[in-house]
Amino acid sequence: MSTNRFPKITEKGLEDLRKRIGVKITDTLEPWNYEATRDAIRHYAHGIGDDNPLWCDPDYAEQTRYGTLVALPSFLFTTNRIISGYCGGLSGIHAMWAGADWTWHKPVLRNDVITTEAHLKDLIEHQTRFAGRSFQQIYHVDFFNQHGDQVAEADSWVFRTDRDEAREKGTKYTDVRGKVEQLSDEQLAEWSKLYAAEEVRGATPRFWEDVQEGEELPRMMKGPMTVTGFICYAQGWGGLYIRANKLAWKMQQAHPGLGIKNRFNVPDCPERVHWDEAFALEVGAPGAYDYGPERCSWLTHHLTNWMGDDGFLRKSNCQIRRHNPDGDVIFIDGTVSRKFEEDGRHLVEISQRAETHRGELSASGTAVVELPSRSAS
């Protein structure tokens, strides 16, 4: 028997949301980080399992061309809640972060102060296997440093879905919802070899002339997924609705849709789908699962390991294709699909694909990396 526990998408809600398209957002949550401090950069890097010394070791970073610590490209997720999935309108309706299209213009250096401007760009209706009728809510965000220089810009999008529809009628996870697949010690030992072999290119330049179209990047692994890992990411990224005590109460008073009652009849945040399996199953997910920006950051980590200190990530488009629940293992592969020169820059385009250990597509992406050239050295 079907039970409607959660609010529904309404035409009035959609009409109100469409009125916001193109309007600069002036009232939103403060970011997790205003400044790219040493600790903020390191906490975010460690939250995605990245120990690149360019982000984490001040003594090392001082010897590079930057002369100081650099914030990893995906660090900017911490400087704006909207790019990370905080969205307006349709109170009480689930928002599932599903991708981002980034362009970076300048590096973010230690102690840079970041400000942002954002607006709702579009609202597009879809039919999905996850929840039937869904709406893709696309935002655009611009990022600036303390000098007024634009360091980056990005579109990101969430899918607004009826939680009850996803649970009752969604077909995407029918066969795996709540299923526990135990991994063998032999599997874990074999996969761990990828961690042992993971290489940070670092100070050794990867020259554009040495890269060939069709060349494959080293495979990167993430996982096996654990709730501990999801929380580790939230520690560096900040989350969207994670609040404690009076601050949680104040948020729920201002936004009642953010207080969804738990098994103790206590209002708690919708973000707990990432650590509360019972609640994740209620909204139609296969179990507690990873964060979308986290997975996008894994794809950029794959690229920055490969390109080295003298490379610069210009663009990254990441599209999330499914949830990665607790227990999943993710393998990220990449191929150089094009070499080209543009505006005096030596560039390579890379196609990326992230699959689970069962061969399911988890995420896909394309990126453009600027590499040093021997002709300029």
Note down the domain range covering 255: 11-376
Q: Indicate whether 237 belongs to any domain.
A: yes
Predicted pLDDT at 174: 61
* Amino acid at residue number 100: A
Q: Indicate whether 3 belongs to any domain.
A: no
Q: Indicate whether 2 belongs to any domain.
A: no
What is the domain count for the chain?
A: 1
Q: Indicate whether 159 belongs to any domain.
A: yes
Q: Indicate whether 245 belongs to any domain.
A: yes
CATH code, 175: 3.10.129.10
Predicted pLDDT at 6: 73
Phi, psi torsion values for 352, nearest 5 degrees: -120, 150
pTM of this structure: 0.92
Q: Indicate whether 1 belongs to any domain.
A: no
Each residue's pLDDT tens digit, 209-237: 999 999 999 999 999 999 999 999 999 99
Q: Indicate whether 196 belongs to any domain.
A: yes
Each residue's pLDDT tens digit, 144-189: 999 999 999 999 999 998 766 655 565 555 666 557 789 999 999 9
Q: Which residues of the chain are modeled with pLDDT < 70? A: 1-5, 128-131, 163-178, 377
Q: Indicate whether 4 belongs to any domain.
A: no
